[in-house]
Chain A
Amino acid sequence: MINLTIDGKQVQVKENTTILEAARQNGIDIPTLCFLKGINMAGDCRMCIVEIEGRKGFATSCIQVAEEGMVVRTNSPEILEARKTILDLILSNHHIDCLTCVRGGNCELQQLAKKLNIREIEYEGEKLEHEIDDKSPAIVRDFNKCVLCRRCVATCKKVQNVGAIDCTSRGFTSTISTTYDCSLNDVDCTFCGQCIQSCPTGALREKEYINEVWDKINDGDSYVVVQTAPAVRVALGEEFGMKIGTNVKGKMVTALKQLGFDKVFDTNTGADFTIMEEANEFIERLTNGGVLPMITSCSPGWVRFAEKNYPELLDHLSTCKSPHQMFGAIVKSYFAKKYDIDPKKIVMVSVMPCIAKKYEASREEMEVDGLRDVDYVLTTRELARMIRQANIDFENLEDSNFDDPMGEATGAGAIFGTTGGVMEAALRTAADTLEGKDLKDIEYKEIRGEKGIKEATLNIAGKEVKIAVASSLANARKIMDKIKDGKCDYHFIEIMACPGGCVMGGGQPIKDSKTRATVDVRKLRANSLYSIDEKSVIRKSHENPALKQIYKEFFGKAGSHVAHKYLHTSYSKKEKYEI
Chain B
Amino acid sequence: MEKVKTIEEIEEIRTKKRAELDLRVNLKANTVEKHILVCRGTGCTSSKSPKIIENFRKIIEEKGIKNVRVIQTGCFGLCAKGPIVIIRPEDVFYAHVKPEDCEEIINTHIVEGKLVERLLCKDIDGTLVKRLDELNFYKKQQRIALKNCGIIDPEVIDEYIAFDGYKALEKVLTSMTKEQVIEEISNSGLRGRGGAGFPTGKKWSFTAMANADQKYVVCNADEGDPGAFMDRSILEGDPHSVLEAMTIAGYAIGASQGYIYVRAEYPIAVQRLRVAIKQAREYGLLGDNILGTGFKFDIDIRLGAGAFVCGEETALLESIEGRRGQPRLKPPYPANSGLFGKPTLINNVETYANVTRIIINGANWYSSIGTETSKGTKVFALGGNVNNVGLVEVPMGTTLREIVFDIGGGIPNGRKFKAAQTGGPSGGCIPEEHLDTPIDYESLSKIGSMMGSGGLIVMDETKCMVDIARFYLDFTVSESCGKCTPCRIGTKRMLEILERMCEGKAKPGDIEKLEKLANSIKKSAVCGLGQTAPNPVLSTLKYFRNEYEEHVMNGKCPAGYCKALCNLKIQPDKCKGCGLCKRNCPVNAISGEVKQPHVIDTSKCIKCGTCVDKCPFKAIVRG
Residues on A lying within 8 angstroms of B by beta carbon are: 42-46, 49, 57-58, 60, 63, 81-82, 85-86, 89-90, 92-93, 122-123, 125-126, 148, 167, 169-174
Given A63-B329, A123-B513, A172-B477, 15 new contacts (CB under 8 A): A57-B523, A60-B329, A82-B520, A85-B490, A85-B517, A89-B493, A92-B489, A123-B517, A125-B496, A148-B485, A170-B479, A170-B482, A171-B482, A172-B482, A172-B491
User: For residue B490, which residue of chain A has the nearest CB?
Assistant: A89
User: For residue A33, which residue of chain B has the nearest CB?
Assistant: B485
With the chains together, A170 CA to B324 CA distance in Å? 10
Q: Is the CB of A89 within 8 A of B486?
A: yes
With the chains together, A148 CA to B482 CA distance in Å? 9
Q: Is the CB of A85 within 8 A of B520?
A: yes
Residues of B within 8 A of A60 (CB): 329, 526
With the chains together, A77 CA to B513 CA distance in Å? 17
Instruction: Give min CB distance, B445 to chain A, whole Å.
Output: 12
Residues of A within 8 A of B51 (CB): none
Say whether, besides A93-B489, A170-B480, A122 and B523 are in contact (CB < 8 Å).
no
Residues of A within 8 A of B488 (CB): 148, 171-172, 174
Q: Is the CB of B520 within 8 A of A81?
A: yes
Q: Tally A-B pairs: CB < 8 A.
A: 94
With the chains together, A46 CA to B526 CA distance in Å? 8
With the chains together, A475 CA to B477 CA distance in Å? 40
Residues of A within 8 A of B523 (CB): 57-58, 82
With the chains together, A57 CA to B480 CA distance in Å? 19
Most buried by A among B479, B484, B491: B484
Q: Is the CB of B481 within 8 A of A171?
A: yes
Residues of B within 8 A of A167 (CB): 324, 482
With an 8 A cutoff between CB atoms, is B219 at the interface?
no
With an 8 A cutoff between CB atoms, is B588 at the interface?
no
Say whether, besides A43-B484, A63-B329, A172 and B516 are in contact (CB < 8 Å).
no
With an 8 A cutoff between CB atoms, is B492 at the interface?
yes
With the chains together, A230 CA to B341 CA distance in Å? 44
Say whether, besides A44-B526, A92-B489, A125-B492, A174 and B329 are in contact (CB < 8 Å).
no
With the chains together, A165 CA to B329 CA distance in Å? 22
Instruction: Give min CB distance, A448 to chain B, whole Å.
Output: 35
With an 8 A cutoff between CB atoms, is B387 at the interface?
no
With the chains together, A212 CA to B489 CA distance in Å? 40
Instruction: Give min CB distance, A127 to chain B, whole Å.
Output: 10
With the chains together, A44 CA to B490 CA distance in Å? 13
Residues of A within 8 A of B520 (CB): 81-82, 85-86
With the chains together, A90 CA to B496 CA distance in Å? 15
Could you name 9 residue pairs across A and B whose Cβ atoms are closer than 8 Å? Answer: A46-B485, A46-B525, A125-B492, A148-B485, A167-B324, A167-B482, A170-B482, A171-B480, A172-B489
User: For residue B483, which residue of chain A has the nearest CB?
Assistant: A44
Q: Is the CB of B485 within 8 A of A90?
A: yes
Which 9 pairs, one residue from A and one from B, show the smallest C-beta to C-beta distance? A174-B482, A171-B480, A89-B489, A172-B492, A123-B493, A125-B496, A43-B329, A85-B520, A171-B482
User: For residue A49, which residue of chain B has the nearest CB?
Assistant: B524
Residues of A within 8 A of B526 (CB): 43-44, 46, 60
Residues of B within 8 A of A148 (CB): 482, 485, 488
Residues of A within 8 A of B524 (CB): 46, 49, 57-58, 82, 85-86
With an 8 A cutoff between CB atoms, is B531 at the interface?
yes
Q: Is the interface of A mostly helix, strand, loop or mixed?
A: loop
With an 8 A cutoff between CB atoms, is B353 at the interface?
no
With the chains together, A167 CA to B325 CA distance in Å? 12
With the chains together, A44 CA to B513 CA distance in Å? 23
Find B485's partner among A81, A86, A125, A169 (CB 8 Å cutoff): A86
With the chains together, A404 CA to B198 CA distance in Å? 77
With an 8 A cutoff between CB atoms, is B363 at the interface?
no
With an 8 A cutoff between CB atoms, is B280 at the interface?
no
With an 8 A cutoff between CB atoms, is B307 at the interface?
yes
Say whether, besides A58-B523, A82-B524, A85-B516, A125 and B493 are in contact (CB < 8 Å).
yes
Find A44's partner among B478, B484, B491, B531 (CB 8 Å cutoff): B484
With the chains together, A194 CA to B29 CA distance in Å? 77
With the chains together, A85 CA to B485 CA distance in Å? 10
Say whether, besides A86-B524, A171-B478, A44 and B489 are in contact (CB < 8 Å).
no
Residues of A within 8 A of B513 (CB): 122-123
Say whether, besides A125-B492, A125-B493, A86 and B329 are in contact (CB < 8 Å).
no
- Considering only residues 522-573 of chain B, those with a C-beta below 8 Å from chain A are 522-526, 531
Instruction: Give min CB distance, B330 to chain A, whole Å.
Output: 10
Q: Is the CB of B482 within 8 A of A92?
A: no
With the chains together, A74 CA to B163 CA distance in Å? 58
With the chains together, A122 CA to B520 CA distance in Å? 14
Q: Is the CB of B517 within 8 A of A45?
A: no
With the chains together, A553 CA to B61 CA distance in Å? 106
Q: Is the CB of B329 within 8 A of A92?
A: no
Residues of A within 8 A of B482 (CB): 148, 167, 169-174
With the chains together, A89 CA to B307 CA distance in Å? 24
Instruction: Give min CB distance, A363 to chain B, whole Å.
Output: 35
User: For residue B520, which residue of chain A has the nearest CB?
Assistant: A85
Most buried by A among B482, B489, B492, B531: B489
Instruction: Give min CB distance, A386 to chain B, whole Å.
Output: 36
Instruction: Give min CB distance, B415 to chain A, whole Å.
Output: 35
With the chains together, A92 CA to B525 CA distance in Å? 17
Instruction: Give min CB distance, B195 to chain A, whole Å.
Output: 15
Residues of A within 8 A of B487 (CB): 171
With the chains together, A43 CA to B490 CA distance in Å? 16
Residues of B within 8 A of A44 (CB): 483-485, 526
- Considering only residues 294-344 of chain B, those with a C-beta below 8 Å from chain A are 307, 324, 329
Residues of A within 8 A of B485 (CB): 44-46, 86, 89-90, 148
User: For residue A90, which residue of chain B has the nearest CB?
Assistant: B485
Q: Is the CB of A46 within 8 A of B486?
A: yes
User: For residue A93, which residue of chain B has the nearest CB?
Assistant: B489
- Considering only residues 52-93 of chain B, those with a C-beta below 8 Å from chain A are none
Residues of A within 8 A of B492 (CB): 125-126, 171-172
Q: Is the CB of B484 within 8 A of A92?
A: no
Instruction: Give min CB distance, A348 to chain B, whole Å.
Output: 45
With the chains together, A89 CA to B524 CA distance in Å? 12
Residues of A within 8 A of B489 (CB): 89-90, 92-93, 123, 172
Q: Is the CB of A45 within 8 A of B531?
A: no
Instruction: Give min CB distance, B336 to chain A, whole Å.
Output: 13
User: For residue B493, which residue of chain A has the nearest CB?
Assistant: A123
User: For residue A173, which residue of chain B has the nearest CB?
Assistant: B482
With the chains together, A422 CA to B513 CA distance in Å? 59
Q: Is the CB of A42 within 8 A of B329?
A: yes
Find A172's partner among B480, B483, B486, B517 (CB 8 Å cutoff): B480
Instruction: Give min CB distance, B507 to chain A, whole Å.
Output: 11
With the chains together, A125 CA to B491 CA distance in Å? 11
Residues of B within 8 A of A81 (CB): 520
Residues of B within 8 A of A174 (CB): 481-482, 488
With the chains together, A171 CA to B488 CA distance in Å? 5
With the chains together, A57 CA to B487 CA distance in Å? 14
Residues of A within 8 A of B324 (CB): 167
User: For residue B331, which residue of chain A has the nearest CB?
Assistant: A64
Instruction: Give min CB distance, B254 to chain A, whole Å.
Output: 27
Q: Is the CB of B496 within 8 A of A170?
A: no
With the chains together, A90 CA to B489 CA distance in Å? 7
Instruction: Give min CB distance, B518 to chain A, whole Å.
Output: 11
Instruction: Give min CB distance, B450 to chain A, whole Å.
Output: 14
With the chains together, A125 CA to B510 CA distance in Å? 13
Instruction: Give min CB distance, B531 to chain A, whole Å.
Output: 7
User: For residue B489, which residue of chain A has the nearest CB?
Assistant: A89
Residues of B within 8 A of A86 (CB): 485-486, 520, 524
Q: What 1/0 mask marks residues of chain B from 241 to 262 whose CB sits below 8 Å from any chain A CB?
A: 0000000000000000000000
Q: Is the CB of A57 within 8 A of B531?
A: yes
With the chains together, A148 CA to B478 CA distance in Å? 18
Say whether, besides A85-B516, A89-B490, A125-B492, A170 and B481 are in contact (CB < 8 Å).
yes
With the chains together, A27 CA to B151 CA distance in Å? 68
Instruction: Give min CB distance, A16 to chain B, whole Å.
Output: 13
With the chains together, A315 CA to B531 CA distance in Å? 55
